[in-house]
């Protein structure tokens, strides 16, 4: 009886461990829901994408604008409106770049990270391995 309980606990722990390992380096990012209206490109689920990475949509909007060399405005904190017609490929590439640079830990590959600012330097702090890596400033 006691043995059974212990082995059950072991099995639950194994299960949890493998689930945790599965998450390393992988994060389900929702594909950008893009519409083109006139001379603008609108990502309708931008907030959801930023939320999946646990990042501030405002900071990500600034990054998107810089990387795509255009004006980027958050509409009601939900949609991202880009000036100019940007194709899906470019938009996805920039989102992936943001993900690699500001979300994934360069040491262990975990996406369970957060950004912290210390003395005007921004660091990527990894919740999985504890590494603290400086990142490029987004201004």
Is residue 122 within 8 A of residue 134, CB to CB? The reply is yes
Q: Which is nearer to Zn ion, 33 or 118 (CB)?
A: 118
Between the alpha carbon of residue 62 and those of residues 3, 81, 137, the distances in Å are 57, 11, 11
105 touching Zn ion, by CB under 5 A = yes
Looking at the Cβ atoms of 30 and 130, the one nearer to Zn ion is 130
Cβ closest to Zn ion, residue 65 vs residue 111: 111
Q: Is 27 in the site for Zn ion (CB under 5 A)?
A: no
List the one residue from 24, 115, 129, 135 that touches Zn ion (CB under 5 A): 129
**Which residue ranges make up the site for Zn ion (CB under 5 A)?**
105, 107-108, 110, 126, 128-129, 131
């Amino acid at each position: 009886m006691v043995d059974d309980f212990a082995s059950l606990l072991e099995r639950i722990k194994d299960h949890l461990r493998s689930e945790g390992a599965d998450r390393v380096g992988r994060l389900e990012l929702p594909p950008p829901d893009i519409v083109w209206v006139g001379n603008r490109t609108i990502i309708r689920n931008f907030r959801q994408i930023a939320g999946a990475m646990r990042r501030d949509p405002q900071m990500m909007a600034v990054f998107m604008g810089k990387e795509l060399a255009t004006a980027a405005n958050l509409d009601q904190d939900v949609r991202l409106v880009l000036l100019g017609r940007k194709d899906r490929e470019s938009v996805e590439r920039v989102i992936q770049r943001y993900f690699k640079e500001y979300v994934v830990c360069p040491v262990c590959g975990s996406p369970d990270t957060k950004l912290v600012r210390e003395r005007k330097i921004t660091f990527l702090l990894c919740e999985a391995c504890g590494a603290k890596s400086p990142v490029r400033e987004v201004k």
